[in-house]
Structure 1
Amino acid sequence: MHRSSLFRISRPGGARAWFSAALVLLHFQTSAQVLEEWTYQSPSESSAAVRMDGKYMFVAENEHEVLRLFEQRPRARCAPPVYSFDARPFLNLSSANPEVDIEAAAAIQHQGTKLICWLGSHGHSRNNQSRPNRSRLFGTRVLGDGTGAAPFTLAYAGRYEHLRDDLLAWDRDNRHGKGSNYFQLSASAAPDVSPEAVDGFNIEGFCVAPDGTAAYIAFRAPLVNGSGPTTAWHQRTNALIVSLLNPAELAAGNFTSGRGRAKFGVPVTLNLGRRGIRSLDSSFPNQYLIVAGPVNETSNPPRAPLDFRLFTWTGDFTNQPVARVTRFPHGYEPEGAVLPPSLLSEDAVVQFVSDDSTTCWNSFTTRVGAAGQR
């Protein structure tokens, strides 16, 4: 079903919050239109999604550690989950500010099963306060065959609490070979630095690398220099991705103490038009979709770089991503994508989940060209 005009779905009342998902046609020759839209029941904002079998998806939210299985395309509005898994008892969370702030997820084949690795933001609170509970990478194994009352279920696999420490040491100690504090990550993670500043520390993307074993850690902040060490504010133009070589080992392990277990590969900086990475997803070899957005808030109306944009990428660090001219109106907060298991061709259909907080994600009609300016 195509819609040729902008329309809005109002937020239901009551104590519950709702998140919405929209199917967007990525048509790189003609136009991109919203095909359908659904709403789902959840107590807070959606922040990450993992495709299961084309009918179901697991969704995380950034204020609770309850992972929910939804039909991707339910008939009912504000559809309830068909299954829920509460990860909180397994994550060693302190009672003060207990949220992990889950922002990303990646599914990896590990020991004969699908392992979903869930990643916290690893950043401070919005008022720049330390939040140790957000330093969590944890794993759940997927059980089930897609049938029955609970088509898929989850079993806790393990966790790692020192990824942030390891990233800071990797940059500080020049383990990437580019020079000590090349990306200034320790300064970004310092007390009183906002996670929503261009020099802040905030992870929002996590995706399996082309080899199927490593994963890409993608940063909303900081932005970094794309052509040398980051030594000045005006140089902060590019988004940062760091390869994590052993995500399954960490997410399925029980390394409850001891730093230094994360193994990192080469980093890459991407020119996304002075935007950070808000989501990084792939479901087909060498086909990646990047949702790029401001490190802080969008402008109203959205104007570059304070807007959300889509980029396609091969996942090859020698290639820069290709901008697409899709525009997201003010109020749209795409935080995760469910991709088809096929090429991101001009007819590819992508489903986004929206971190829409107190507003429903607006539907939109726009045109998309083969490529556009960043």
Structure 2
Amino acid sequence: MRLMFVGFLCAVSAISTKVLAAEAEIVTYKEMCDASAAVALDKDHFVVGDDEMNTLRIYKRGQSSSIKQVDLSKFLDTKPDKESDLEGAARIGDTIYWISSHGTNKDGKVQDRRRRFFATTVDTTSSPPGLKPIGAAYSKLVENLSSDPRFAKYKLAEAAKKPPKTNGAFNIEGLADGGNNKLLIGFRNPLPENKALVVTLENPTDLIEGKGEAKFGNPIELDLKGRGVRSIEKVGGSYLIVAGPYDGKKDFVLFRWSGKESGEGIEKLETPAMNALFPEAMFEIPGTGEVQVLSDDGSLTVGAGECKDAPRSEQAFRSVILKP
């Protein structure tokens, strides 16, 4: 299935809104619906995580079926049919860090398997590139954040017991290279004073290597007009953020953020080609200045039910490439 959306050029307005000039083709990839985290492996290949399963799939751009799969069930200490709700990914060098939602299931039940921070390494000697997990998964981010006095006002321990799509719940969806071997963690929920919460993880390598507990920078609050972070990606000297509501509503916007801890330097980008999607994953395509945005299409209708409940052979997600 391919649809064509054509954007047009518009000057930056007084409210710092920019329309991206792009002719963007929506391309469909098979074998999963809920594309929720993704990273480029090279210019032509990318890996995608699904929040409904623990198997990573590697795709070649423009080829609908995956070319490699990496089953993480054993590594994450889960059963093959019990997902860890993977939601974010970020690459630093040849290490790809992955993070799960750390929230409850839809009924508000706390499940340890949803509290995972881990890493894979890229095998650049194989063609196409491969992946393998390294170190050990870390599962104490909620406790570490809750015990840090700088985050007391967010009541994260209480939030982590609420269903993730309720007001004030705990739900991580974004992960990005924060520079200097640090990571930025982006929250879909909670929204303190209607702002999105971003947290710097200062020692990701230590956690993977089993050296101590998580250390954080100061909390960052971003004015994304009442939306939380659904995906965040470092592009050049700034960050692109896919922002959306904490619940299941469709209201997605792309922002550019300076990266300043003060939260200053936010610009809204109008993206006509993205309007048809449910964007939840994004990554920069190396050497192109372009970003690829992936849609979580689990709720779309396939046959008599939702895509995520369809047979694997009938599942698919959509993707678009933009040049911000």
Q: Who is 1:205 aligned against?
A: 174
TM superposition shift of 1:331: 5.7
Q: Does 1:215 align with 2:195?
A: no
When residues 26 and 46 of structure 1 are mapped into structure 2, their CA distance, relative to the original with a 3 A threshold, is farther
Q: Who is 1:135 aligned against?
A: 115
SS in 2 for 1:208: strand
Amino acid at match of 2:60: E
**For the Cα contact (< 8 Å) 1:196–1:296, is it kept in 2?**
yes
Amino acid at match of 1:215: L
Q: Determine the C-alpha separation between the residues in 2 that align with 1:41 and 1:100.
A: 21
TM superposition shift of 1:341: 4.5
> Greater CA deviation, 154-163 or 328-337?
328-337
**Which of the pair has more CA radius of gyration?**
1
Q: Who is 2:105 aligned against?
A: 125
Residue 83 (structure 1) aligned to one of 68, 81, 99: 68
Q: Who is 2:138 aligned against?
A: 160
**For the Cα contact (< 8 Å) 1:337–1:352, is it kept in 2?**
yes
Amino acid at match of 1:152: G
**For the Cα contact (< 8 Å) 1:9–1:361, is it kept in 2?**
no
Matches within 5 A, 1:255-334: 261-284=213-236, 286-299=237-250, 307-318=251-262, 319-326=264-271, 332-334=277-279
**For the Cα contact (< 8 Å) 1:24–1:351, is it kept in 2?**
no
Once the two structures are superposed, residues 279-327 of structure 1 have per-residue CA deviations (whole angstroms, 9 ceiling, x without a partner) of: 011143x22100000000225xxxxxxx100000121213242112335
Q: Who is 1:116 aligned against?
A: 96
**For the Cα contact (< 8 Å) 2:117–2:137, is it kept in 1?**
yes
Q: Determine the C-alpha separation between the residues in 2 that align with 1:330 and 1:282.
A: 22
SS in 2 for 1:85: strand
Q: Determine the C-alpha separation between the residues in 1 that align with 2:8 and 2:190.
A: 28
TM superposition shift of 1:358: 4.2
Once the two structures are superposed, residues 51-71 of structure 1 have per-residue CA deviations (whole angstroms, 9 ceiling, x without a partner) of: 121100011111111111111
Q: Determine the C-alpha separation between the residues in 2 that align with 1:215 and 1:289.
A: 14
Residue 107 (structure 1) aligned to one of 50, 72, 91: 91
SS in 1 for 2:179: coil
Give unmatched runs, 5+ long, in structure 1. Answer: 1-7, 11-21, 226-236, 300-306
Q: Determine the C-alpha separation between the residues in 2 that align with 1:26 and 1:194.
A: 40
Q: Determine the C-alpha separation between the residues in 1 that align with 2:80 and 2:68.
A: 28
Give unmatched runs, 5+ long, in structure 2. Answer: 12-18, 301-315
Q: Who is 2:153 aligned against?
A: 182
SS in 1 for 2:153: coil
Q: Determine the C-alpha separation between the residues in 2 that align with 1:115 and 1:317.
A: 25
Q: Who is 1:45 aligned against?
A: 34
Q: How many residues align?
A: 300
Q: Who is 1:14 aligned against?
A: none
SS in 1 for 2:219: strand
Q: CA RMSD in A?
A: 3.1
Residue 280 (structure 2) aligned to one of 297, 314, 335: 335
Identity in percent: 31
SS in 1 for 2:220: strand
**For the Cα contact (< 8 Å) 1:60–1:102, is it kept in 2?**
yes
Q: Who is 2:14 aligned against?
A: none
TM superposition shift of 1:216: 0.7
Q: Determine the C-alpha separation between the residues in 1 that align with 2:274 and 2:100.
A: 27
SS in 2 for 1:166: helix
SS in 2 for 1:60: strand
Amino acid at match of 1:136: R
**For the Cα contact (< 8 Å) 1:308–1:328, is it kept in 2?**
no
Amino acid at match of 2:165: E
**For the Cα contact (< 8 Å) 2:195–2:223, is it kept in 1?**
yes
**For the Cα contact (< 8 Å) 2:33–2:297, is it kept in 1?**
no
Q: Determine the C-alpha separation between the residues in 2 that align with 1:315 and 1:151.
A: 30
**For the Cα contact (< 8 Å) 2:20–2:269, is it kept in 1?**
no
SS in 2 for 1:153: strand
**For the Cα contact (< 8 Å) 1:59–1:68, is it kept in 2?**
yes
With normalisation by structure 1, the TM-score equals 0.72
Q: Does 1:240 align with 2:209?
A: no
TM superposition shift of 1:194: 2.0
With normalisation by structure 2, the TM-score equals 0.82
**For the Cα contact (< 8 Å) 2:35–2:317, is it kept in 1?**
no
TM superposition shift of 1:329: 7.3
**For the Cα contact (< 8 Å) 2:252–2:275, is it kept in 1?**
no
